[in-house]
Amino acid sequence: MHVANAPQVVAPRPRHAARFLAIAGGLAAVALTTIASAPASAWGRFPSVDREYTAGQGPLAVGVKVVGRSTPLFLASNRPDRWYLEAREGANYQVTVRNTSGERVAFVIAVDGLNAINGTRSHLGADEPMYVLDPYASATIKGWRKDYSNVSKFVFVDEERSYAARTDQANGDLGWIRVVAFHEFRPVAWGSKMNFYRDGGGSAQGAPAAPEAREEASKDAPRTDRRIDGNGMESQSAPMAEKESSPGTGWGANQRDHVREVEFTPERNACAQVILRYEYHSALVTLGILPWRGYDRDRLWERENGQLGFAQPPTR
């Protein structure tokens, strides 16, 4: 990423500029299509799901690339506030963010509940480090920012190996990616020149601590299980026994990724938020986001609804 086009980071202070990083037709054909694409909601408890590659909200258009390729984002009819994507253990991923407006926009990006710039717990506020995008510009957030020139790649790992867990910051947002946008504050100045505040110092403020320093302490940390309640919300349970693992985002290999410092004063309140949820394939099937291709369910659907097709010769 060229410096000139890079997003920008800051630790904003209300009403003061702060440091940001810039970065064949016919009835039969119709019937065949209808049966083949029957939504999961036909099973009663599963939602209908739309597949997209970009999640849009306000001035934000957000996508995810896994191993360099755009991955589908699934929007469930019963949870229109979030988009789901499939995590693949060991795969690197990147979050692409585009500003669809004609004005500069800043955004906080939190992964597993941690600010991706300074690596600490995020409350998605205007006082956090964030990136800035010029009008109609886009940026690719490739990992946890280490300094102005390097990041550690985002990589899907099991929860206990996530950056949050390895730094003793595991929280209820494991498996979540949140991108929150802020408009620029433009006060009216009367008869005097505005004074912009710029923090001094180097890049230490935006660099998260490497997890290796606390690895030993986190090895024996109890693992928690995410559960879905009746309202579709997630909650944490007590430390769990041997169960299927859930994904988190790890501290991956180093990658060069340049950003520069700019002045930007965010509004106090966010103007948009895009929420992404990632899970392994089996969990997305359980949630009804992805179809289960097992024999029993497919066969039950065929028996319940009839299967359109043509006569085939017997095999035995």
- Could you tell me the residue ranges of all domains in the chain? 3-187+247-301
Find the length of the chain: 316
- Is it the case that residue 296 has pLDDT exceeding 50? no
Q: Is the pLDDT of residue 4 over 90?
A: no
- The H or E element spanning position 276 is strand 272-279
Q: Between these two residues, 184 and 13, which has the higher pLDDT value?
A: 184
What integer is the mean pLDDT of 15-42?
43
* Interval 174-207: pLDDT, tens: 999 999 999 999 876 554 443 332 233 333 344 5
Binned at pLDDT 50, 70 and 90, residue 163 comes out as very high
pLDDT for residue 211: 62
Q: Which pLDDT does position 226 carry in this prediction?
A: 42
* Residue 279 pLDDT class (50, 70, 90 cuts): very high
Q: In sequence order, what are the residues at sequence separation of 6 or more whose Cβ sits closer than 8 angstroms to the Cβ of residue 245? A: 158, 159, 280
Q: Give the pLDDT confidence score for residue 197 in this predicted structure.
A: 29
299, containing H or E segment: helix 295-305
pTM (predicted TM-score): 0.69
Closest CA to 10 of 196, 251, 269: 196
- Write the DSSP symbol of residue 191: S
Considering only residues 101 and 186, tell me which one the structure prediction assigns the higher pLDDT.
101
